[in-house]
Amino acid sequence: MLWMVRSSSSRVSVDSVGLPNEPCSNGRNEECWSSGFQYIKVHHTCAYHHLQTLPIDISTDNPTTVTMSGPATKQETTDALERLKLRLASENKDKLPKPSYAAVVAAAKDLAQRLTQRNVSYYFCGGFACVYLCQAGRTTADIDVVAKDNTNYGSLLDIVGAMTNVIVDRVLSESPLYYHKPSQEFVEMDCLPAGWAGNFPKFTDKGFGLEQKDSLEFLSSAQLLRLKFKSWGHPVRRENAEKLNGDKMDILGLRKYIRFTLKTKVDKSIWEDAEKKALNEWIKQYNDANDWKEIGL
C-alpha cells in the first residue's frame, strides 16, 4: 500500500487513496497524538501507524512516498534475530534487550485479535496487565497470556506457532519471541494454561473475573492484586530487587485503580493464607493500613 505523505510543520497529512476504511481508535475522525502513535485525518477515514515507520523529514514540505507493510515474514524475523544475536555477541551480552512499551502493546493486540477471531478464551495478567489497566508507574518487557483450559491452551500454542513474526530461541528465552518490525525489537510471550503451578486462576475459581479494555481481556484487578501480593511476598522474589520493585509499583497502581477508578471493594474472604500474610507484611513495612481499608482490606 502506497501513501503520499506531506508534512506541515509538526503534522503529517496523507494525500493519496488506498487507506483502510476504519475509524481512528479514539472514536473521532480527527488528528490526534496518543501513546507514540499518530492518527491522521483523511476526509472521513483515519489510519494509524507508529512514528518509527515514517521515514520522512517533517521539516520540509516535499511529499514522500511511504510503503506500509504488515507483520514480518518468517525470513525477516529469522534475519532480525540473527542480527540481534551478532550484536549481543559483539557487546559481550547474553540477555534479550528490553523492548519499548509500544512493541509490547503491539504484540498483545496482535495476539488478542487472533485469539478472538478463533474464539479462544484467554486473559492477560502479570506486569503488562497492571501497566495497561491501571498505568502502574513502570514499564514491562513481556506479556503473560493465560488460556482458559487445555483445549484453549492448545489453540493458543497453535496460533502463536503459526505467526510468521514469532520465533523460538532457547538461548535468549524459554518463551516465544514476537518480532515487532517497526521498532526491530523482540517481545517475550509467556503462554500458560489457567491453573498452571497454582499461580494462574482458573475460570471456574471463586471470585474469578475478567476486565476488558480496548478489546483486550485482562484478569480482574482484584485477582491481579492477589497474584501480585503472592509474588511480592515470595522469598525468591525478594532476592531480585528489580522484580520486587516492579511488584511494588503494580500493587500501588492496582490499589489506586480499584479505589478511584473502579470504586469497588476487594473480597478478602477468598484470599489464600500466603496472600493475607504478604498483605500484613506490606502494612508493617509501609504503615498504610488505612489505605487498604478503603478498598475493603
Q: Where are the alpha helices (DSSP H) in 11-149?
A: 74-90, 101-117, 126-134
- pLDDT over 90 (residue 50): no
Whether 228 and 172 map to the same domain: the answer is: yes
- pLDDT over 60 (residue 172): yes
- pLDDT over 90 (residue 57): no
Q: In what order do the strands lie in the sheet with 37-42?
A: 32-34, 37-42, 45-50
Span 188-194, mean pLDDT?
A: 97
At residue 69, the pLDDT reads 59
Q: What is the enclosing helix (H) or strand (E) of 253?
A: helix 241-256
Q: Are 5 and 63 in contact (CB under 8 A)?
A: yes
Has this prediction a pTM greater than 0.85? Answer: no
C-alpha cell at 43: 476526509
At residue 136, the pLDDT reads 82
How many domains does the chain divide into? 2
Whether 100 and 18 map to the same domain: the answer is: no
At residue 239, the pLDDT reads 87
Span 131-145, mean pLDDT?
A: 92
Positive or negative: CA dihedral 21, 27, 33, 35? negative
Judged by DSSP in three states, 217 sits in: strand
Whether 105 and 225 map to the same domain: the answer is: yes
Confidence of residue 149 (pLDDT cuts 50, 70, 90): very high
42 beta partners: 45
Residue 292 falls within a domain, yes or no?
no
Span 62-86, mean pLDDT?
A: 78
At residue 22, the pLDDT reads 36
36 phi-psi bin (left φ>0, alpha ψ -120 to 50, beta other): left
Whether 199 and 252 map to the same domain: the answer is: yes
Whether 20 and 144 map to the same domain: the answer is: no
Residue 214 falls within a domain, yes or no?
yes
Whether 48 and 130 map to the same domain: the answer is: no
CA dist., res. 115 & res. 138, Å (int): 27
At residue 112, the pLDDT reads 98
Whether 62 and 79 map to the same domain: the answer is: no
Span 2-24, mean pLDDT?
A: 33
- Residue reference for cell 540477555: 95
- pLDDT over 60 (residue 276): yes
- Mean pLDDT for all residues in the chain: 81
- pLDDT over 90 (residue 202): yes
At residue 58, the pLDDT reads 31
- Beta strands (DSSP E) in the chain are 2-8, 11-14, 32-34, 37-42, 45-50, 64-67, 122-125, 142-147, 166-167, 177-180, 185-193, 210-213, 216-219
Whether 78 and 37 map to the same domain: the answer is: no
6 beta partners: 13
Q: Phi, psi (5° rounding) for residue 123?
A: -155, 150
Residue 39 falls within a domain, yes or no?
yes
**CATH assignment at residue 209:** 3.30.460
Whether 61 and 132 map to the same domain: the answer is: no
Q: Which residue range forms the structural domain that includes residue 88?
A: 74-284
Whether 99 and 217 map to the same domain: the answer is: yes
Q: What is the pLDDT of residues 212-234, one digit of tens each?
A: 999 999 999 999 999 999 999 99
Confidence of residue 238 (pLDDT cuts 50, 70, 90): confident
Positive or negative: CA dihedral 247, 250, 252, 255? negative
Whether 63 and 85 map to the same domain: the answer is: no
**Dihedral angle, C-alpha 50, 53, 57, 61, nearest 10 °:** -70
Q: Which residue has the higher pLDDT, 60 or 118?
A: 118
At residue 11, the pLDDT reads 33
Whether 89 and 54 map to the same domain: the answer is: no
Q: Where does a domain end: 67, 85, 117?
A: 67
Residue 245 falls within a domain, yes or no?
yes
Q: Phi, psi (5° rounding) for residue 70?
A: -85, -155
- pLDDT over 70 (residue 42): no
